[in-house]
Amino acid sequence: MNKLDVVGKREPMLDAWEKATGRARFTDDLAFPGMLYGKILRSPLAHAKILHLDLTGAEKVTGVKGAIGGEDIPKKKYGIVPMAKDEYALAIGKVRYVGDEVAAVVATSLDAAEEALSKIQVDYEELPAVFDPVEAMQPGAPVIHEEVHNNVSASIRKEFGNVEKAFGESDFLFEDTFETQAVNHCPLEPQAALAVVDPSGKVTLYASTQIPFFLRRNLATTLDIPESKVRVIKPKVGGGFGQKIDLYAKDFCAAFFAMKTKKPVKFVYEREEVFTSTRQRHPMHIQLKTGMRKDGTILAQQFKVIADGGAYNSTAPLMITLACYFIMLPYRLENLLFEGYHVYTNKPVGGAMRGHGIPQVRFAVEAQLDHVAEKMGIDPLDLRLKNAFQAGAPHPAKLRVQTCGFSDTLKTAAKGIGWEEKRGKLPFGRGVGLAGASFPSGVSNMSHISSGAMVKIERDGSITLLTGAADIGQGAETVISQIVAEELGVPLEDIRITAADTEITPLDPGTFGSGVTLRAGNAAKIASQEAREKLFEAVAEKMEVNVKELEARNRRIYVKGSPERGMSFKEAIKFYQYSDRPMPIIGRGSYQPPAKEPTTLLKEDGNFSPAYSFMTQAAEVEVDTKTGKVKVLKMVASHDCGKAINPMLVEGQLEGSVVGGMGQALYEEVITEKGRVLNPSFLDYGIPTAMEAPSITSVEVETNDPEGPFGAKESGEGTQLAPAPAIINAIYDAIGVRFKTLPVTPEKILQALDEKKKE
Amino acid sequence: MRGKEVVVKRIITLNVNGEEFEFLTEVHRTLLEVLREDLGLTGTKRGCDLGTCGACTVLIEGKPYLSCLTLAADVQGKKIVTIEGLAQDGEPHPLQKAFVQKGAIQCGFCTPGMILMAKAFLDENPNPSEEEVKQAISGNICRCTGYTKIVEAILSLTHK
Ligand code: FES
Ligand code: FES
C-alpha cells in the first residue's frame, strides 16, 4: 500500500476542542423559546391491568399544557426489529414491568410537570408476575404478552454438522452451567429528546440516538405521519454502547406533544429511569457441553441458552441469533447444536449492548476452555492456538472470513501479559488468564443497511463532507474525515463535516453492529474518489497527461512520482471552473456490503458481515484473600482491527471497552427484587471508577481487510467480549477457584476460599 | 412554579467566570439548574442529579463542588468557575490541551467535570503519583475511556 498521510495518524477528535471547552451541545443543552418540559408517569407495579386512567388532576395544575395516556396517542406498535414490534409509546391496557410508561405530561416548567404526575390517578388490577425466565417458560406461568403463550418471544434451534456423532467420537466430554447478570450500559448522558414543529407542520426531533434514520422511520409509522414530515437531528451524544439504538417513549411523546401544542417540547430521563426503563444486557442462563479429541481439537459443542428478556423484545431475535452464530468464531467448530430462547419476564428490558448477545456465551466458552485445557494437561494458550480459526477457511454457517489475525492476537496478548513466566507460576493470590473472541464489522444485508456520503470541493479548497453516520463519542466523524482527507490529498483540517441529520445528510443505518467505519467509511471513500476524478479530468487536460497518471497529496495534484509536475489543489479548482465544467464539484458515494440475500441469519445461513475482527484479552489479577477483593493489575487488549485509521481512537475504544468488561466480571449488576430495581444509581450499581481501572496495553494487529476502507475493520465493541472470561481465568490461576456466575464479588470469593479450606 | 404551593423567589447575584449575574429565582434551585437554564452555561453537565457522577463539577473559590448538590442561593458572592471560564485570555488551560491531544475525550460528557476536578487537584498537589490522580478523579465517572488516557493527560502536566 502507498504511504499514507492522514490515515493511520493519531489525530485528536475533530470536536475534542468543543468538548474540552464546554461548547459542545448535547440534546439537553438545546433550548427554544416557549419550550415545554415533559415527564413520564411510570408503573409502580410489575404486572397489572390498567383499569382506569384519570388525567384531570394533572390537567388542572398551573402551567400544564397537556396530559396523555396510551389511548390518546396513535395505537401503533414500535420496535427496533420490525418482526418483533411489541411496544406502545405509552402502555395500553396493562403494564408489564416496574417503570413501564403509563402517561405523559408537558408543562411550562419541570416543577409543574412533576406536580402534575403526582395528580394522575391510575386504578390498577395487579396480576401475577414472573421474574425468572425458566419459570416463565413453564405451562401455567403468567402470560406477559397475550399472543406469546409460554413467554418465549424469540427462539432458535440450529444444528451444524452432527453433534451426537461428534460427541460419540470425543475422548473427553465437559458439561457446565453458567449465569450472567443484568448490566446497564450507563452512558453518561441520560436519554433526551427535543421536538420542534415548524410552520409547515414538519416535526424536527433532536435526540440522543445512535440511529437517526431508524428513529425517523419509527416516529413516522408510530405517530401515523409521513416520513417526509419528520426530521431527526443527532446533536452530540454522550455515549450509547447500544442503549441508544432503541426507541423510547421520550421520542414519541416529545414529537406528539410538539405537534399537538405547536410548541417545542423536551423530555430528559433521570438517571434512575436510565437504569429502570431503558435497556440492559440480557442476563443469560447457559448450559454448555463440549466434546474434545485427545489431541486438543474441539469436536463439538452443545448449548442451551435462556436469555431473560424482561418485559419487551427490543432486538430479541437478532440477539439470540448472534449468540448462536458467533460460537463458531474465533475457533474452528464443525459441530454445533444451539438451542436459545428469549423469554419475557416482568423486569427491565434487555437490548443490544456492546457485543450484543455474544459476551455472555463467550464467557461460558472461554471459562470452560480453560478448565478443559487443565483437565487435558494442555496449556490454555496452546489449546486456543490449536483451534484458532484461519482466514479463508470454510465456515460451517458460510461466514466469509477474508482476514483473520486471531492467532497473532493470542500470541501478542500472551507475550504482553508475560504468559510464559507467569501462568501457574505466580504466588497464591496472583494469576494471569486470557480469552479470545470475534465480532462482525457491521451487518451485510438487512433492510436499510446502506450508507451514503457526499463530498463537495469548495472554491476555497476546503471540503464539505455529508455523512449520515452517527458519532456517539467513538469518533466516527473524525475517522470518516480522515478517509476523505487521505483520498483527496488534503490535511484533516480542510474537512468540514455535517453528519446525522435525516433532512440533509444521506442515508445511514446508524451506529450498531460495529459497521460505521467500514460502511460509512467506504461510502465516503467512494464519494471522495468521484469528486477527485472530476478534478483530475480537468488537470489531466491542462497537463496533457492521462488521468490515471495523477495523484493528489499535500494539497497538490501532480503526476505520480514527480510532485513538481502538477499544480496546487486550489489552482486545480480554478482551472476546473475556467474550463467551463459544471460547478459545484460533488462526489457521491453509496455503499452496501456485498452479500447474497437473506443474510440476517434469522432465516438462513450466509455471510453476515463484510469483515470480522478478532481479539484476545489477557489479564493479571491480585486477589486479596482477606477481603475477597480482586484487583485487576493489568490487561492486554490485542485486537485485529484490520487497519487502525486512527490508532489513538482505536486505543481509546479498546481501553473503554476493557474497563466495561472488567465491570461485568467483578462489580456491575442491576439487582431486582420482585421486578423492582434496588440499585438504580451509579453508587449502588458498581460502575468502575478510575480507582479500579487497570493498566491497559493495547496491541493493534493489522490484517488489511480487502473489504474495509484502507483495510479497516471493527474496533471497540468486540473488545468487550473477552475481558470478563480473561479475568475469571486469571482468578482461577490466582486462587484455584472456577467461577461460573458473574459478577465475582468479594463475598463470592470469600465463600469460595472458605469452602476450599474445608476440602 | 408549583401548583398551589407558595413559591419563594429571591433576587440572587452570582459571580461566574468573572462576570456578575443578577436574576430572580426560586430559592430551591440548584447551581446546576441556574447555570444551565438561566445563564446558558450548558458546559456543566447533568449526569445523575444525585451527586454520584461528577459531571456537574464546578470550582467555587478554586475548590471542586458538585453543582447538582449546591443551592445557587448559597454561593452568592463566591467566585464560581465553570468549564467555559477556564481559558485565560483566549488561551486554553493546559489541561484542556492535554485532554485534547492525549485522546482523553470521547463522548465528552464527563470532560468538563473531569477537567475542573483535575485542575482543583493539581492546584493543590502539583506533583502527584498515578494513584493520587486516580483517587482524585474517582468521583468522576467516565464510561467511554476506561480512564487510561484521562490519567495520562493529567500526569503529563505534572513532570515539569
Ligand atoms: S450530576 Fe451532579 S454528580 Fe452527577
Ligand atoms: S468521554 Fe464519555 S463519559 Fe467520559
pLDDT digits 0-9 by tens, A115-143: 999 999 999 999 999 999 999 999 999 99
Whether domain B9-85 has CATH 2.40.50.140: the reply is no
pLDDT at A229: 97
User: Ligand 1 centre from A39 Cα, in Å?
Assistant: 20
- Terminal-to-terminal C-alpha distance of chain A: 60
Q: What is the DSSP string of A258-270?
A: HHHHSS-EEEE--
Closest A-chain CA to B140: A689
**Domain B94-155 is classified in which CATH homologous superfamily?**
[2Fe-2S]-binding domain (1.10.150.120)
Give the residue ranges of DSSP H helices in A139-248.
163-169, 212-223
CB B54 near ligand 1, within 6 Å: yes
A62–B135: do the CB atoms touch at under 8 Å? no
Q: What is the CATH number of domain A31-127+188-239+244-277?
A: 3.90.1170.50
pLDDT at B7: 72
Rounded to whole angstroms, how far apart are CA atoms B110 and A457? 35
pLDDT digits 0-9 by tens, A348-406: 999 999 999 999 999 999 999 999 999 999 999 999 999 999 999 999 999 999 999 99
CB B113 near ligand 1, within 6 Å: no
B42–A658: do the CB atoms touch at under 8 Å? no
Q: Does B100 touch chain A (CB under 8 A)?
A: yes
Q: What is the average pLDDT value for chain A, to the nearest integer?
A: 96
Does A280-444+599-758 match A16-23+450-591 at the fold level? Answer: yes
A691–B134: do the CB atoms touch at under 8 Å? yes
Instruction: Confirm whether pTM is higher than 0.95.
Output: yes
Fold of A16-23+450-591: Aldehyde Oxidoreductase; domain 4 (3.30.365)
Cβ(A628)–Cβ(A462) under 8 Å?
no
Q: Does A727 touch chain B (CB under 8 A)?
A: no
pLDDT at A82: 87
Q: Reduce the DSSP state of residue A429 to 3 states and report it.
A: coil
For chain A, the domains span 16-23+450-591, 31-127+188-239+244-277, 280-444+599-758
Cα A572 to its chain centre, rounded Å, is 42
Which residues in chain A are closer than 8 Å to B157, comparing Cβ atoms? none
Burial of B79 (0-12, 13-18, 19+ CB in 10 A): middle
User: Ligand 2 centre from B134 Cα, in Å?
Assistant: 16
Helix (H) / strand (E) element for A558: namely: strand A556-559
Which residues in chain B are closer than 8 Å to A35, comparing Cβ atoms? none
Can you tell me the ipTM of this complex? 0.97
Q: What is the CATH number of domain A280-444+599-758?
A: 3.30.365.10
Rounded to whole angstroms, how far apart are CA atoms B47 and B68? 10
Determine the residue of B66, B137, B143 to mutate for testing ligand 1's pocket, defined as the one with the most ligand atoms within 8 A of the Cβ atom.
B66
Which residues in chain A are closer than 8 Å to B148, comparing Cβ atoms? 651, 655, 693, 695-696
Of B2, B36, B145, the CB nearest to A655: B145
Which residues in chain A are closer than 8 Å to B47, comparing Cβ atoms? 188-190, 238, 271
Rounded to whole angstroms, how far apart are CA atoms A461 and A480? 19
Q: What are phi and psi of A717, to 5 degrees?
A: -80, -50
pLDDT digits 0-9 by tens, A547-566: 999 999 999 999 999 999 99
Cβ(A181)–Cβ(A669) under 8 Å?
yes
Between positions 659 and 698 of A, the ones with CB within 8 A of B are 659-660, 681-683, 687, 689-691, 693, 695-696
pLDDT digits 0-9 by tens, A290-318: 999 999 999 999 999 999 999 999 999 99
pLDDT digits 0-9 by tens, A153-208: 999 999 999 999 999 999 999 999 999 999 999 999 999 999 999 999 999 999 99
pLDDT at B2: 43
pLDDT at A445: 62
User: Ligand 1 centre from B138 Cα, in Å?
Assistant: 13
CA distances from A273 to A38, A184, A347, B144 (A): 14, 11, 13, 20
pLDDT digits 0-9 by tens, A233-279: 999 999 999 999 999 999 999 999 999 999 999 999 999 999 999 99
* Residue with CA closest to ligand 2 atom 3: B142
Which residues in chain A are closer than 8 Å to B140, comparing Cβ atoms? 689-690
Closest A-chain CA to B90: A21
At A364, list the grid cell. Answer: 461460558
Burial of A758 (0-12, 13-18, 19+ CB in 10 A): exposed
Q: Does A15 touch chain B (CB under 8 A)?
A: yes
pLDDT digits 0-9 by tens, A727-738: 999 999 999 999
pLDDT at A597: 52
Burial of A143 (0-12, 13-18, 19+ CB in 10 A): middle
Cβ(A429)–Cβ(A460) under 8 Å?
no
User: Ligand 1 centre from A353 Cα, in Å?
Assistant: 24
Cβ(A381)–Cβ(A414) under 8 Å?
yes
- Which of A14, A15, A21, A27 to mutate to test binding with chain B, by most B CBs within 10 Å of its CB? A21
Atom of ligand 2 nearest to the CA of B108: 1
Rg for chain A (alpha carbons), in Å? Answer: 27
User: Ligand 2 centre from A357 Cα, in Å?
Assistant: 24
Rounded to whole angstroms, how far apart are CA atoms A255 and A249? 10
Rounded to an integer, the average pLDDT of B149-160 is: 90
Report which bound ligand comes closest to the CA of A653: 2
pLDDT at A30: 98
Rounded to an integer, the average pLDDT of A602-621 is: 91
- What stretch(es) of chain B map to CATH 1.10.150.120? 94-155
pLDDT at A149: 85
Which residues in chain A are closer than 8 Å to B139, comparing Cβ atoms? 689
At A402, list the grid cell. Answer: 477474508
Which residues pair with residue A635 across a beta bridge? A619, A696
Task: Evaluate the CA torsion angle A645, A648, A649, A650 in order and state its sign.
Answer: positive
Rounded to whole angstroms, how far apart are CA atoms A678 and A673? 7
Q: Cell 394522575 identifies what position? A: A120
Determine the residue of B31, B68, B142, B143 to mutate for testing ligand 1's pocket, defined as the one with the most ligand atoms within 8 A of the Cβ atom.
B68
B46–A681: do the CB atoms touch at under 8 Å? no
pLDDT at A448: 61
User: Ligand 1 centre from B65 Cα, in Å?
Assistant: 10
- Examine the pLDDT at B1 and tell me if it is beyond 50: no
B41–A22: do the CB atoms touch at under 8 Å? yes
Helix (H) / strand (E) element for A658: namely: helix A647-666
